[in-house]
Amino acid sequence: MNDKVSIKFTAKQTPYNAGEIAGFSADRAAQLVKAKVAVYVNPVKSKVKSMLANAQKSAQEKADKKAATAKKNKMVGSAPHNKAK
């Protein structure tokens, strides 16, 4: 998903100057707006919320997959071995 959210900087945020417009992921745009260094350009709240929810879901799915892989690898590595003598 390559959807970008346009924001306009209200304060200098290297490498951007106040007044410049740039596109960011929904997560990053929300962080900058929350930090009060930018405002949304043509805010469409439902789209932004949807994009943010999708980004968070994707991040959670990646974390879950990583945890499942780690758990599987731990189980494989700790299997008891019965050796007949």
78 has pLDDT over 70: no
pLDDT tens by residue, 27-68: 899 899 999 999 998 766 656 677 777 788 888 898 899 888
Q: Residue 71 corresponds to which amino acid?
A: K
Residue 8 DSSP one-character state: E
Is residue 1 a contact partner of residue 53, using CB atoms and an 8 Å limit? Answer: no
Helix H, strand E, coil C: the string for 15-51 is: CECCCCEEEECHHHHHHHHHCCCEEECCCCHHHHHHH
Is residue 29 a contact partner of residue 36, using CB atoms and an 8 Å limit? Answer: no
